[in-house]
Amino acid sequence: MSEVIESATQPPPATAWRKTLLLLTAYLGFISLGLPDTVAGVAWPSVRNSFSLPQDHFGLVFIALGCGYCTSSFLGGGLMSRWGVGTLLTGSSLLVCVAMFGFASAPVWSLFVACAVIWGLGSGGIDSALNSYASTYFSTRHVNWLHACYSVGATVGPLLMTAMIVNRGSWRTGYVLVAVVLLLMSCLFLATRQWWQQPATTDSDPTAKPVGLLGTLRDPLVQLSIVVFFLYTGLEFTVGQWCYTILTESRNVPAKTAGMFAGAYFGAIGVGRVVLGMVADRIGLDRMVRCSLLTAFCGTLMLTVRSPVGVGLAGVLLTGLGLACVFPCLMARTPQRLGATKAAHAIGFQVSAAMLGVALFPGAAGIAARQSGLETIPLIAIALSSLLFLMHEWLIRRGLRSTRPAATVS
């Protein structure tokens, strides 16, 4: 653990055990971030019946979630500057905790939707704060592993909610358990609040001053980064949300097999982050992302093959493996590419753009599928992967023209 925090600009001196505890807290924080994100789909049939709702009302939850998330993540850099990372993590975790208790006790549908806004505000704050701190002070390997922990939370959430519905007959109890986990996480963030303090100076120049929100947003590199994150999550979730439907309804793959490969897609992302995170520094972050995006492109090409079915199934897995380390490597590269004076704001913009990609692209793909058939979606995936690769190449070339000091020693 001696290399837990690797940075040219170190945070205030801390003992080895304190550094290790910070890293473990960050791992738990990413698990807690993923935990509530996937329980909604499992709980929805029961929630719908409880409030006597039509099927399409489920979208209101994610609209409300997206509004809260984009707001807090977009403002994340300013909130961290004003309150500090530890305070933002504590308050954001408490907001998610309150939202989960609110879901569990909401007597009417309107209050349930209002709690989704609170959930988004808290999740956006946690995401921007953890990613900002980790990408600046943790090695690339740990940044990849931290994002793999998100996959752990996203896997445990549905299992927990399913167990409560099957064994207790109550979706509300499932939300209570998630709320308790977030409450414990809030206590841990509170106990370590002072340890997350960021250094007063930035970059290698002690006279450098942090750049404001609008100043950061005007940077062409920041704008390109926003587009890259928007396209990345659009591709990841378009494939992830639609592969099961494509396989079962368009290619007559048995539901059990299709479900296994849909789950394996996200599993490949999680496993890939663990394995590839160990070699990302040696290969180089830009080169690693470039190779990964080419792999994902090949996967989307294979996904278009209807027969033999096995080619399309392999394409699902290859796409997931290709996308595995892209998000964490891009995050780890942000302070190096932009400098620490802009990194906090930029990371907030990036996670906000990522949420917009999740919200917009799968829905747009569904509209296209309704008009032209399900096989249109793999073509959309190819277009997204191609555009994502080109935009990342543009980002690299623009970055090479800049003379920014690296904020993290890889």
User: 213-399 has which CATH code?
Assistant: 1.20.1250.20
Residue-wise pLDDT tens digits, 75-92: 887 888 888 889 999 999
Q: What is the pLDDT of residue 148?
A: 87
- Chain-centroid distance, C-alpha 152: 12
Domain residue ranges of the chain, discontinuous segments joined by +: 22-196, 213-399
Q: What is the pLDDT of residue 270?
A: 86
CATH topology for 22-196? Answer: Growth Hormone; Chain: A; (1.20.1250)
**Mind giving me the DSSP string for 126-184?**
HHHHHHHHHHHHB-HHHHHHHHHHHHHHHHHHHHHHHHHHHHHS-HHHHHHHHHHHHHH
Q: What is the pLDDT of residue 144?
A: 86
**How many helices (H) and strands (E) are present in the chain, helices listed first?**
17, 0
Cis before 36? omega within 30? no
- Is residue 68 within 8 Å of 121, Cβ to Cβ? yes
* Rounded Cα gap, residues 358 and 397, in angstroms: 27
* Rounded Cα gap, residues 260 and 313, in angstroms: 10
Examine domains 22-196 and 213-399 and report if their fold is the same: yes
Q: What is the pLDDT of residue 198?
A: 57
Residue-wise pLDDT tens digits, 350-381: 988 998 898 888 888 888 888 898 899 999 99
pTM: 0.78
In a 10 Å sphere around its CB, with 0-12 CB exposed, 13-18 middle and 19+ buried, how is residue 13 labelled? Answer: exposed
Q: What is the pLDDT of residue 362?
A: 84
- Is residue 9 within 8 Å of 201, Cβ to Cβ? yes
* Rounded Cα gap, residues 359 and 344, in angstroms: 23
* Rounded Cα gap, residues 410 and 299, in angstroms: 29
Q: What is the pLDDT of residue 248?
A: 86
* Rounded Cα gap, residues 384 and 322, in angstroms: 14
Q: What are phi and psi of 5, to 5 degrees?
A: -115, 110
Q: Which residues in the chain show pLDDT less than 50?
A: 1-14, 199-207, 403-410
Q: Nearest-CA neighbor of 144 among 30, 273, 28, 23?
A: 273
- Is residue 221 within 8 Å of 395, Cβ to Cβ? yes
Q: Nearest-CA neighbor of 341 among 183, 211, 182?
A: 211
* Rounded Cα gap, residues 399 and 401, in angstroms: 5
